[in-house]
């Protein structure tokens, strides 16, 4: 009789794999190590994911899924700039709460991690674009309201670059207690430039 996969074990395996990928890289990742981290058998990894390539692909998907959930949790208000700031806060909050997943998502080329055939589905291609689309949407609202000036995709890329740079430095330990202040200054500079354009 086949075992029913346990969702809690699946999440634990994803998080263990993300930690190992972030700390040691793809070459050091083994299903035995992942399973050992959560006190499961190697068979549990096969039951939930099928194999190493599928596990790594699912780690990347989970990272983008969590980012998307966090970004879409930001409520819309009548203050479009406050909403955009809240989106940035959600981005940083997600990165700090899911640091290994964040490091895998952006620190490695997800499409180069595994067999390219594992990335042929539309879901794989769109999962990251969906998260970025939330940011583009928040920027577009600010542009439509006249609060920012410029093309929403380019402004969103600039905002993302500033947010990502600050968060990456914070996660690497370079900012100490100045993480929030640096994040605010970096993203604020993008806002300032976009209000003057």
Q: Please give the residue range of the domain that contains residue 173.
A: 59-196
- From CA 1, how far away is CA 183, in angstroms rounded? 52
Q: How many domains does the structure of the chain reveal?
A: 1
- From CA 53, how far away is CA 75, in angstroms rounded? 36
Residue 32 in any domain: the answer is no
Could you read off the pLDDT tens digit of each residue along the chain, which spans 197 residues?
Answer: 456 667 889 999 999 999 999 999 888 899 999 999 999 999 999 999 999 989 998 998 999 999 999 999 999 999 999 999 999 999 999 999 999 999 988 765 444 444 445 444 545 556 778 888 999 999 999 999 999 999 999 999 999 999 999 999 999 999 999 999 999 999 999 988 888 86
Residue 163 in any domain: the answer is yes
CATH, residue 121: 1.10.357.10
Residue 49 in any domain: the answer is no
CA-closest candidate to residue 141, choices 75, 80, 76 = 80
- From CA 121, how far away is CA 124, in angstroms rounded? 6
Residue 50 in any domain: the answer is no
Residue 97 in any domain: the answer is yes
Residue 187 in any domain: the answer is yes
Tokens of 109: 């080329």
The pTM is what? 0.86
Residue 29 in any domain: the answer is no
Tokens of 9: 């074990």
Residue 35 in any domain: the answer is no
DSSP secondary structure of 38-88: TT--HHHHHHHHSSHHHHHHHHHHHHHHHHHHHHHTSPP-S-HHHHHHHHH
């Amino acid at each position: 009789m086949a075992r029913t996969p346990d969702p809690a074990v699946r999440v634990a395996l994803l998080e263990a794999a993300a930690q190992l990928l972030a700390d040691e890289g793809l070459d050091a990742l083994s299903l035995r190590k992942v399973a050992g981290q959560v006190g499961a058998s190697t068979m549990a990894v096969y039951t939930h994911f099928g194999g190493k390539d599928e596990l790594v692909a699912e780690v990347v998907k989970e990272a983008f899924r969590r980012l998307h959930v966090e970004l879409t949790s930001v409520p819309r208000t009548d203050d479009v700039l406050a909403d955009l700031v809240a989106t940035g806060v959600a981005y940083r909050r997600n990165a700090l709460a899911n640091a290994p997943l964040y490091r895998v998502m952006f620190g490695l080329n997800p499409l180069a991690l595994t067999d390219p055939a594992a990335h042929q589905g539309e879901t794989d291609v769109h999962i990251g674009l969906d998260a970025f689309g939330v940011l583009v949407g928040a920027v577009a609202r600010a542009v439509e309201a006249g609060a920012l000036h410029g093309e929403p995709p380019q402004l969103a890329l600039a905002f993302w670059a500033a947010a990502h740079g600050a968060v990456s430095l914070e996660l690497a330990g370079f900012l100490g207690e100045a993480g929030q202040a640096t994040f605010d200054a970096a993203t604020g500079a993008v806002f300032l430039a976009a209000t003057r354009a």
